[in-house]
Amino acid sequence: MQRERNLELPHYHAPAWLPGGHAQTLYPALFLWQRLTRYRREGWVTPDLDSIVVDWVDGRAGTPIVVLFHGLEGGSKSHYSLSIAQYFYPRGYRFVVPHFRSCGNVSNRLPRAYHAGDSNEIDWILRRIRDRNPESPLYAVGVSLGGNALAKWLGEQGESAGELISAAVVVCAPLDLTACGNMLDVGVNRHIYTREFLRTLKRKTLLKLKMTDNPYIDRDRVKRARTLREFDDLVTAPLHGFKGVEHYWDSASAKPLLRHIAVPTLLINSKNDPFIPAHSLPGPDDVSQWVSLLQPREGGHVGFVGGAPPGRLNWLPDVMWRFFQHYAPLPR
């Protein structure tokens, strides 16, 4: 079954008091923190005997579950996670954020961490949730880095993805990692976003090197890294089996796989996202008939603030909810 075309989703219009992609990105991340959602945390052992932490918003058995894969250095306390949780829970959904390795304020056991193309991680997590909740409709959300990993998994799995999930939403994903990495490493982006990402990435890496020497990683060069390209070449690539940053960015990008997606999937990208050049966004010819593209002119990177000051974060979870409702499985 191809995607149905009669689904109308609300358009996003940025408020006049919050102009520009940088403001629309930074304001919600810094100032629109929702009241803290009460999560229940679980610790999971991975198939390779590593560890991750998983945060749940519980509900009745058998109710639908939204699984959110977070962005670079994000987690269950990110502004988007909290806004989605607080929108879906009153509507009868459970919500879960599986943290990538080393995230969630808990260090993992193995030298490896996580990366933008880790579709194997997406696979075993979704299978574990499905196995534990066989009667529940399952929906997947991927944000930024987690969105690329989810989209890559969807493309690799094809029709098999439908055995695990009913639909997926991918938000502000860097589907062309080379284009996005290059954009983050220049100008104001490098001094605002990349510097903040590297602050925590480098700290985690150096702490792990204190505990376990790694002959593939040069501690002094990690300390001096000032761009994502440098960090990914020094750390992410060798830790996860890539030959270097070019091999990593090329191999992990989900854009070439979008034509193979075979479950209802919504790709949301704003055209003024400071992380993602508009020319790199997928067009209709880049995706399968199962994929819907929603590309508002504004919104920033996972911003989408609405309403009068101080603003609300309702548009994104409302679009997700409408999309999931539209593709909800029929009652048995």
Give me the percent of the chain exceeding a pLDDT of 90.
Answer: 92
Residue 45's alpha-carbon distances to 48, 109, 208, in angstroms, are 8, 10, 19
Q: Give yes or no: residues 299 and 220 share one domain.
A: no
How far apart (Å, rounded) are the C-alpha atoms in residues 233 and 230? Answer: 5
Q: Give pLDDT tens digits for 127-149.
A: 999 999 999 999 999 999 999 99
Q: Give yes or no: residues 37 and 171 share one domain.
A: yes
> How big, in percent rounded to 5, are the helix, strand and coil portions of the chain?
40, 15, 45
Q: Identify the pLDDT of residue 102.
A: 96
With bands split at pLDDT 50, 70 and 90, how would you rate the model's confidence at 123? very high
> What amino acid positions are annotated as catalytic residues?
144, 273, 301
With bands split at pLDDT 50, 70 and 90, how would you rate the model's confidence at 33? confident
- CATH number, domain containing residue 314: 3.40.50.1820
Q: Give yes or no: residues 298 and 236 share one domain.
A: no
Q: Give yes or no: residues 242 and 305 share one domain.
A: no
Q: Give yes or no: residues 234 and 117 share one domain.
A: no
Q: Identify the pLDDT of residue 1.
A: 41
With bands split at pLDDT 50, 70 and 90, how would you rate the model's confidence at 213? confident
Cα 191 to its chain centre, rounded Å, is: 22
Q: Identify the pLDDT of residue 3.
A: 45
Q: Give yes or no: residues 74 and 148 share one domain.
A: yes
Q: Give yes or no: residues 168 and 97 share one domain.
A: yes
Of 100, 15, 92, residue with least CA distance to 299: 15
Q: Tell me how many domains the chain contains.
A: 2
**Which residues form the domain of 51?**
1-175+253-332
Q: At which of 220, 252, 284 does a domain end? A: 252
